[in-house]
Amino acid sequence: GVYAFDLDGKQLWHASVGTDTKYWGVGPSPILYKDFVIVNASTESQSIVALNKATGKQVWTAKGVIESWNTPVLVKTPAGATELAVGSEPLMMGFDPDTGKELWRAKTYSWYVCPSLAVHEGILYGLQHTICVAVKSGGRGDVTVSHVQWKKNFGAVVASPLFHDGHLFWAWNGTANCVNVKDG
Instruction: Collect all residues with Cβ–Cβ distance below 8 Å to 47 and sequence separation of at least 6.
Output: 17, 18, 41, 61, 62, 63, 64, 65
**Dihedral (Cα; 89, 90, 95, 99), 10-degree rounding:** -50
Segment (H or E) for 153:
none
Q: What is the pTM of this model?
A: 0.94
Q: Which residues are registered as beta bridge partners of 73?
A: 85
Could you give the C-alpha distances from 182 to 17, 90, 119, 138, 167, in angstroms and in order? 38, 23, 13, 18, 8
Residue-level pLDDT at 22: 75
Residue-level pLDDT at 149: 98
Mean pLDDT value across residues 116-144: 97
**CB 60 within 8 Å of CB 45:** no
Is 80 exceeded by the pLDDT of residue 82? yes
Residue-level pLDDT at 116: 95
Higher per-residue confidence, 108 vs 26 = 108
